[in-house]
Structure 1
Amino acid sequence: MTDLSTAEWVTSSYSGSNGGTCVAVARVGSHVAARDTKQGSDGPTLVVPSAAWTAFLLAIAR
């Protein structure tokens, strides 16, 4: 399990201030963690290797 207690979460720039569906991400060592901001630290968190996150972003950008 990855320790997320010191993670510095960054909210998507597309989130706006309307409290809508938002994604927050944090770099944790050689991994990237992602979570739904509505769930906060109590909700589920997806943790993947940085290379997998980069591949995901490139795929959706296409």
Structure 2
Amino acid sequence: MSTEDRGPVFDGVRIGRPATGALIDAGYRTIADLPERLEELLPLHGFGPRAIELLAQARRAGR
């Protein structure tokens, strides 16, 4: 079992605990690690459209 924090924040963006856990389980650690097309993440259990929008906003803001 991982001791890594799986709270609601992923790389400084509050996307929620399920979405954060889904990204960590899939091997992502930072926004820069994510695929160009964030929609590719939708099949991840616990990851939804709201998380995509929040991460897209973060990208546009230069995070």
Same-fold call, TM > 0.5?
no
Which TM-score applies when normalising by structure 2?
A: 0.23
Which TM-score applies when normalising by structure 1?
A: 0.23
Which structure is higher in RCO with an 8 Å CA cutoff and minimum separation 6? 2
Select the structure that is richer in strand.
Answer: 1
